[in-house]
Structure 1
Amino acid sequence: MSDVSALIVGCGDVGSRLARQLLALGWQVSGLRRSVQQLPKGVEPIAADLSGQRMPADWPERNPDYLVYCVAASQHDEAGYQAAYVAGLRHVLAWLQRGGKLPRRLLFVSSSSVFAQKDGEWIDETASTEPEGYSGKVMLEAEQLALGSGIPASVVRLTGIYGPGREWLLSQVRQGYRVAEQPPLYGNRIHAEDAASLLAYLLQADARGVVLDDCYIGVDDDPAPLADVVAWLRGYMGVTEWSDDQRVRRTGSKRCSNARAKALGWVPQYPSYKEGYAAILAGNS
């Protein structure tokens, strides 16, 4: 058994996948969420509601070596985002301060919503962040809180996460929804398992003494036009009918690069939507 420990705050879909990957490596893993009954086997449970300031009764006696803040807002408005990403992180940081020795590194799971570019341009970690919506603005505020926490920190900006249970686009395609072809609407994706594997890779790299950057984008190798994705899915699933009045709606168009993560050595298991959606439809992911 490894003596390296990690605490995953917000141990939901991606967090649980990360937990299983770390457990397979021999790490000690604690998971914080409201319903600890849903945690993977082998994860030490911490039942908590991040909206409260009271330290959880089952908070580890020794602070973990690594903290991954990987929550999802339960309320999708500005107040909900503030509660989940800013106030919740403040509470966890306060609990860590009480525990004495701080973690070696904090990974804060953020979102590509901090980027407002929408004309199909390529985006990397150095691109300007001028979000127009509340979600991106709150995420930027939370990122700054993490980076200024006094704990060495890296922000991981995940793009559109898909996987089992995250099948909105598949449902739209089955219903024959249309999507505009011109101008191309570029979308960015990462399979939930690859999102977890990127986090695991960064933790392992830090544990080996690799110097990490303060920001990484989590995305696959193929930020393809949405029309191409829909066309491929229609062919793969054998959908032939078109809906008369329904369209796949989305705003923005940008192409996110994973060059920084890949330069570190990370490789996605599902390099494009084709491998990822094929695995979902086959029930293999």
Structure 2
Amino acid sequence: MSGPSVLIAGCGDVGSRLAEQLLAEQWQVFGLRRTVSRLPAGVIGVAGDLFNEQCPADWPATTLDYLVYSAAATDHDEAGYRAAYVEGLQHVLSWLKQHGQQPKRILFVSSSSVYGQQAGEWIDETSATEASGYSGRLMLEAEQLALDSGIPATRVRLTGIYGPGREWLLTQVRRGYRVAVEPPLYGNRIHADDAAGLMAFLLKADHQGEALDDCYIGVDDAPAPLAEVVAWLREYMGVTEWAEDATVRRTGSKRCSNARAKALGWLPGYATYREGYAAVLAGS
């Protein structure tokens, strides 16, 4: 007997990691993306474009127990974000309706950009969402669309994802990247495997009858000042030179808590940036 079925709409890096974890648990996994040849082995490909209102020709005809909406913006401007998160979700919800499918739950992959706090405050799922930029505002609009869909929905607000292929900070540190020490610029991060692991944990918990909240923050155990992270990486990688002009231009500073997810029983595999970046640098 096969396990639950899930459609991952926008099955890119994190979505593919999620797919592999669920396949290992005998779930039936459909992955929607433009290039299905890049899906992990075992995923049933659904060739489609979230930006196009036309339903994919090979949309699953079977019952779908879960939907994970994990889109990524192609264009990083306001129109690009609206197309990826608001309009794309509208399209998928319409396709479900066309096929008479009513998943048990939607997981909507959101972002901590919905929080506009900038003074190092601690943030949890109950904190005010007063996004200052269009990315956060449009993410909130898409979240509300999921909540209003008529399907139980849980938002997963991921913080800065890093991991293999997501090595921007490592590149900057190698170049002699500088960062202000005072006031501390707090950053929040989660390894890509842990981002996928949190979603897999929530899906399995729901399937087992656990009551889920409508929102979880995906973050490791240790939000840290960027200066601390850079100093540790410099020492770990043996970088001794400083660049003249490579300086940070970040403005946001907040500390996100994972207490709600941990209270449900989730634990990150990489508790802090130290374990996570050591694994990345070791090629694992």
Shorter-chain TM-score bucket reads over 0.9
Given residue 19 of structure 1, which amino acid in structure 2 is its aligned partner?
A: A
Corresponding residue of 1:237: 237
Distance across 1 between alignment mates of 2:51 and 2:19 = 23
Partner of 2:168 in structure 1?
A: 168
- Aligned residue in 2 for 1:70: 70
Q: Could you tell me how far 1:3 is from its partner in structure 2?
A: 3.0
Kindly report which structure 2 residues correspond to 1:263-282, keeping only aligned pairs within 5 A, or say none: 263-282=263-282
2:60 — aligned with what? 60
1:67, 1:107 within 8 Å by CA — same for their partners in 2? Answer: yes
Q: Distance in 2 between matches of 1:277 and 1:124?
A: 24
Deviations 1:236-257 (A, max 9, x none): 0000111122213312100000
> 1:159–1:189: 8 Å Cα contact kept in structure 2?
yes
Q: Residue 133 of structure 1 corresponds to which residue in structure 2?
A: 133
SS in 1 for 2:130: coil
1:78-97 to 2 correspondences below 5 Å: 78-97=78-97
Instruction: Identify unmatched segments of 5+ residues in structure 2.
Output: none
Matched, 1:228 2:232: no
Structure 2 contact 10–50 (Cα < 8 Å) conserved: no
Query: Matched residue of 2:224: which SS?
Result: coil
In the other structure, the counterpart of 2:210 is 210
Contact 1:63–1:96 (CA under 8 A) maintained in structure 2: no
Supply the distance in 1 between the matched residues of 2:275 and 2:86 (Cα, whole angstroms). Answer: 35
Distance (whole Å) between structure 2 residues aligned to residue 211 and residue 118 of structure 1: 32
* Residue aligning to 1:195: 195
Of residues 67-76 and 51-60 in structure 1, the stretch that sits farther from structure 2 once superposed is: 51-60
Deviation >3 Å, runs of 4+:
none
In the alignment, structure 1 segments of 5+ residues that lack a partner are none
Contact 1:62 1:99 in 2 (8 A): no
SS of the aligned residue for 1:246 comes to coil
Residues 1:27 and 2:53 aligned together: no
Q: Distance in 2 between matches of 1:245 and 1:9?
A: 40
Q: How far, CA to CA, are the matches of 1:280 and 1:245 in structure 2?
A: 26
Q: State TM-score, norm by structure 1.
A: 0.98
* Cα distance between partner residues in 2 of 1:278 and 1:249: 25
CA RMSD after TM alignment: 0.8
The alignment partner of 2:145 has SS state of helix
Number of equivalent positions: 284
Q: Tell me if structure 1 keeps the 8 A contact 2:111–2:156.
A: yes
Which residue number in structure 2 is paired with residue 157 of structure 1? Answer: 157
Equivalent position amino acid for 2:82 in 1 = Q
User: Aligned with 1:161: secondary structure?
Assistant: strand
> SS where residue 82 of structure 2 aligns?
helix
Equivalent position amino acid for 2:279 in 1: A
| d(CA) in 2 for partners of 1:248, 1:10 | 31
